[in-house]
Structure 1
Amino acid sequence: MADSATYLYAITREKDRADPERLAGVAGVAGAPVRAVPQAGLVAYVSTVPLAEFGEEPLRRSLEDLDWVGETARAHHRVVETVAMDAATAPVRLVTVYSGDAQVRAMLERRHEDLATVLAQVAGRREWGVKVYAHPARPASPVGARAPESPEASGAGPGTAYLRRRKASLRGRDEAWREAAERAEHIHEALADVAVATRRHRAQDPRLSGRDEWMLLNGAYLVDEDRRGEFAAAVEGLREPGIDVEITGPWAPYSFTALEFAAPEDRDGG
């Protein structure tokens, strides 16, 4: 039985394949070299990996190891970004493994039409990420507002007074959220005017973002290469007090090549 498998990173069109010399200097997952598998006018970028690490059972255990996942994700991303420097690229999701090159070639034949369509859509374009944050604001006291009455003066007990203050605080927080969300929506609409396509991802948990502020927008924008300066300028022009706009990229178009690989039919046969 074979003791190795084929790990898939990304797919390009053969007519604009990645620079082999550039790829030769990049280590893939598990330190494996990266190579090209051409078929049907497309090219898959792969590595040969050991089944002892990338077989079904070892993978199930490894995917519970956050250090392993992080290291593998960094290697995967490094290869994808290297390929995308030279070619319109369809990145493949992390840990997509085939039994061998023959299965990869069969997939390229079977999925040729879908892949060619996706690659044509992202050619000459890159993905940019934009996140918008706002600090949870304390409601400002209205001008001319009276100081809060003491429980004795208002005739309310301490518990009732606390509940009133708590209700007012929550109401102010809700209003601040709505205002900040409206500003984030304006930012998204302005950036969508420059982009050719957009995707809105779920707001990240603060444990992932590393920030305590509200994340109001986690957007991806597919932008023509010749408009990247315009897009960056649009982001800068949308910054305002109380709102933090974070831009990252350019990236391979991960958010715009949502094809599933290694489906059950792709794993059948050799």
Structure 2
Amino acid sequence: MTERGSERSDANATYVFAVCWNPDPSAFRGLSGVTGEFPVRTLPLAKLTAIIQTVRAHDFTDEAWQARLADRQELECYARAHHDVVTAAAASCPTVPVPMATVYHGEQRASEALGKEAERFHVALERIAHHAEWGVKVYAPPPPAAGSLRTAEPSARVRPTPGAGLAYLDRKRSAQERRERSQHEALQAAETVDAEVRLLAAASRRLRPHEPQLSGERRSQILNATYLVADHRVEELAELTRSLSRRTGLDIDLSGPWVPYSFVGEV
């Protein structure tokens, strides 16, 4: 969707945040958008409405955007500003976010391009209306204690009793088997969690579990999933995750509601 290229220094462009049904224009008051120079506003598209902002075209050339991608702090600011506008829209009506930095050479070009995708937008909006995205993360219990194998290990300085080395290896093998069994049982329980939550949800997606060294989380994450849940079933979802935690003995984190980015498809 994005149109970029070399632009005159004084040329304007149209930045698109989202497409939705009947948004409340007052929802965007006070939002600076991605630049703060021009107001965030609506653009009628027949039965749809786009949430847009006028921006300076030279700020979104290929060269300018590549430089922004290399600056993590600036990129995070843009991402946060984009998300704030999408969240404001979603709070007032069903909303399909569009990718960050979707920019057109003026409102007419934006209207034409978005209008060609009207059917897909309607399908996505019908799917997510009166629904929100909820995240479920499941963590395995701590592995069984390894015991005092280190102190029991035969020493070259002390003559071991007959069979001591074999007994040590048996204990070590048993400890490894307990850890593997515990991990297997936790993974099976996590599958139970996913299966039961999917029965309640309208749609679901499995995501890659976060690595502890990347997330800073000490617990071992064994399920990272997101679900599209109807608004009237949110309390049921919360009770289900509490019940599943009690039944499985697993730590289960429920987060949301979020704008359903995971369930709007590629638009």
What TM-score do you get using the length of structure 2 for normalisation? Answer: 0.82
* Aligned partner (choices 62, 80, 83) of residue 77 of structure 1: 83
Pair member with larger Rg? 2
* Aligned partner (choices 9, 13, 18) of residue 5 of structure 1: 13
Measured on the aligned residues, the alpha-carbon RMSD in Å equals 2.7
Partner residue, 2:128: 122
Give structure 1 stretches of 5+ with no counterpart: 142-146, 261-270
Q: Deviations over 1:28-86 (max 9, x none)?
A: 11335311111131111122222343221111121122211221121111111110111
Partner residue, 1:265: none
> Post-superposition, which runs of at least 4 consecutive aligned residues in structure 1 deviate over 4 A?
154-157, 160-170
- Please give the secondary structure, in 2, of the residue aligned with 1:249: strand
Cα distance, 1:166 vs structure 2:
6.3
* Aligned partner (choices 174, 193, 199) of residue 193 of structure 1: 199
- Please give the secondary structure, in 2, of the residue aligned with 1:45: strand
Distance in 1, Cα, partners of 2:261 & 2:49 = 17
Q: Deviations over 1:76-106 (max 9, x none)?
A: 1111111011111111222322233222211
Equivalences for 1:118-267 in 2 at 5 Å? 118-138=124-144, 150=154, 152-153=160-161, 169-240=175-246, 243-260=250-267
- Please give the secondary structure, in 2, of the residue aligned with 1:28: coil
Asked if 2 retains the 8 angstrom alpha-carbon contact of 1:44 and 1:104, the reply is no
Partner residue, 2:4: none
- Please give the secondary structure, in 2, of the residue aligned with 1:216: strand
Asked if 1 retains the 8 angstrom alpha-carbon contact of 2:146 and 2:175, the reply is no
Asked if 1 retains the 8 angstrom alpha-carbon contact of 2:141 and 2:186, the reply is no
What TM-score do you get using the length of structure 1 for normalisation? Answer: 0.81
Percent identical pairs in the alignment equals 37
* Aligned partner (choices 18, 23, 37) of residue 23 of structure 2: 18
Distance in 2, Cα, partners of 1:201 & 1:74 = 22
Aligned residues: 250
Cα distance, 1:250 vs structure 2:
0.9
